[in-house]
């Protein structure tokens, strides 16, 4: 299996990076994890076939993780997609998707789609299966608006991929990431506390309890990007592809 960091940036495009969007693929797996506003041009620029994606997992409803969906769906319609597509995310996702579609492309939902679209709500600690992919959501902490907020533990083809999503430190990150083959962690700052976000130092303090087999940092502000050369950890970059 492999994971491509299509976009690894924060909401402000720090370092000129695209918004969050990861592409997980394997013999029987084709999943998009988050779809920020800039995701469609990033996917096209990196040669990712959008019509082969079976499942899109959304962690929360902030624009840098969610607002690319209308563009992805419009691209699918005009690209003559026929393959069914499932979009799964926190409770309220069907209503939120309708709202953002109408806000960005008014009346677009009145057009009959060429493909079946299935929208699924996920709840913390309740595993869901999508074909060969099992997804366990964990509640994370990222403020009072744009939620509910979920991190994901994904099991597919004998591998476990965990993603914190945007969150401050919360105890749920321990079972979410424990012993994962790949643990993707937001580290927005190096050591400066920022409400609703995770610093590298806060993560480091509990990393021994998580014990991931591989850790990659993402969603970094300029504060973190300026320090990358001196850190003992792998860091995501747009277009980076890692084998799992």
Q: What angle do CA 50, 53, 59 make, to 5 degrees?
A: 105
Average pLDDT over residues 97-123: 92
**Domain contains 205:** yes
**Domain contains 240:** no
Q: Which of 10, 34, 54, 64 is catalytic?
A: 64
**Domain contains 161:** yes
**Domain contains 82:** yes
The pTM score is 0.97
**Domain contains 242:** no
Three-state helix/strand/coil letters over 79-126: CCCCCCEEEEEECCHHHHHHHHHHHHCCCHHHCCCCCCEEEEEECCCC
* Among 33, 50, 46, 4, CA closest to 166: 33
**Domain contains 47:** yes
**Domain contains 241:** no
* Res. 108 pLDDT band, cuts 50 70 90: confident
Distance CA 164, CA 173 (A): 7
Q: Please state, for a pLDDT cut of 90, what percent of the chain lies above it.
A: 96
Q: How far from chain centre, in Å, is Cα 167?
A: 13
How is residue 199 annotated by DSSP? B
Asked whether 197 and 189 are in contact (CB, 8 A), the reply is yes
- Residue 113, pLDDT > 90, answer no
3-state secondary structure of 12: coil
Distance CA 174, CA 184 (A): 13
Q: Please state, for a pLDDT cut of 70, what percent of the chain lies above it.
A: 100
Q: What is residue 31's predicted lDDT score, i.e. its pLDDT? A: 98
Q: What is the CATH number of the domain that holds 46?
A: 3.60.15.10
Which residues pair with residue 122 across a beta bridge? 90
- Please indicate whether residue 10 is annotated as part of the active site: no
Distance CA 112, CA 110 (A): 6
pLDDT digits (tens, 9 = 90+) for 163-187: 999 999 999 999 999 999 999 999 9
3-state secondary structure of 134: strand
pLDDT digits (tens, 9 = 90+) for 41-89: 999 999 999 999 999 999 999 999 999 999 999 999 999 999 999 999 9
CB atoms within 10 A of CB 204: 13
Asked whether 111 and 122 are in contact (CB, 8 A), the reply is no
Q: Give the range of the structural domain holding residue 73, as residue numbers without chain letter.
A: 2-235
Count how many domains the chain has. 1
**Domain contains 244:** no
């Amino acid at each position: 299996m492999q994971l491509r960091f299509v976009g690894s940036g924060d909401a402000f495009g720090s370092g000129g990076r695209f918004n969050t969007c990861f592409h997980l693929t394997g013999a029987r797996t084709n999943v998009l994890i988050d779809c920020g506003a800039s995701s469609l041009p990033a996917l096209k620029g990196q040669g990712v076939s959008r019509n082969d994606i079976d499942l899109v997992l959304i962690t929360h409803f902030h624009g840098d993780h969610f607002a690319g969906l209308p563009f992805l769906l419009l691209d699918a319609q005009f690209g003559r997609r026929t393959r069914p597509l499932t979009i799964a995310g926190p409770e309220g996702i069907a209503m939120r998707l309708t709202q953002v579609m109408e806000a960005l492309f008014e009346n677009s939902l009145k057009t009959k789609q060429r493909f079946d679209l299935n929208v699924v709500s996920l709840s913390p600690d309740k595993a869901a299966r999508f074909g060969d992919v099992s997804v366990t959501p964990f509640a994370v902490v990222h403020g009072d608006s744009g939620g509910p907020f979920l991190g994901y533990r994904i099991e597919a083809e004998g591998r476990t991929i965990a993603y914190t999503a945007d969150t401050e430190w919360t105890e749920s990150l321990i079972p979410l990431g424990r012993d994962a083959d790949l643990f993707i962690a937001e580290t927005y700052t190096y050591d400066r506390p920022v409400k609703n976000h995770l610093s590298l130092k806060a993560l480091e303090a509990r990393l021994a309890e998580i014990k991931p087999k591989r850790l990659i940092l993402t969603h970094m502000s300029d504060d973190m990007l300026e320090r990358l050369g001196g850190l003992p950890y792998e860091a995501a970059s747009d277009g980076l592809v890692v084998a799992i």
